[in-house]
Amino acid sequence: MIQTGNVKKKTKGRAKPEDIVIGKNLRMLRLMRGMSQEKVADLTGVTFQQIQKYENGSNRIAASTLYKFSNILDVDFAQFYSGLNSNDEIVALRGYQPEVLKIASLLDEVKDKKVLKSIKKIILQLSDSEE
């Protein structure tokens, strides 16, 4: 507790909107890596139920735990804060199927532009879409 004047305020409490965004980003980044809640829980030493609580925003995530998640998921620590600014890219990824996110993550690793162009052509043919 911290004391301000004669009023004591609890420092712990319900998650704030920012914590909900961080939890959603944790889920998105985990799915992009193709990892289950159980796997992340095992690697961090918490229960998968705790991971669920983090992801749905009912529990706040300590900075030290976020740091563990960033190492496990091999992402920049700042990505958990993505979406707090409406211009951030990760917001656009919400709602996609986990398989689509995994494919997007794998495609991001392909650096050869000719290969990417070929993959894009195949996907367009499979989806019967035109660009």
CA dihedral (106, 110, 113, 118) in degrees, to 10, reads -50
Query: Whose CA is closest to 16, among 50, 73, 60?
Result: 60
> What domains can you pick out in the chain, each with its CATH number?
2-95 (1.10.260.40), 97-131 (no CATH)
| pLDDT per residue as tens digits for the range 21-33 | 899 899 989 988 8
User: Phi/psi of residue 89, each to 5°?
Assistant: -70, -35
Full-model pTM: 0.60
| pLDDT per residue as tens digits for the range 65-101 | 999 999 999 998 888 988 776 554 455 455 566 777 7
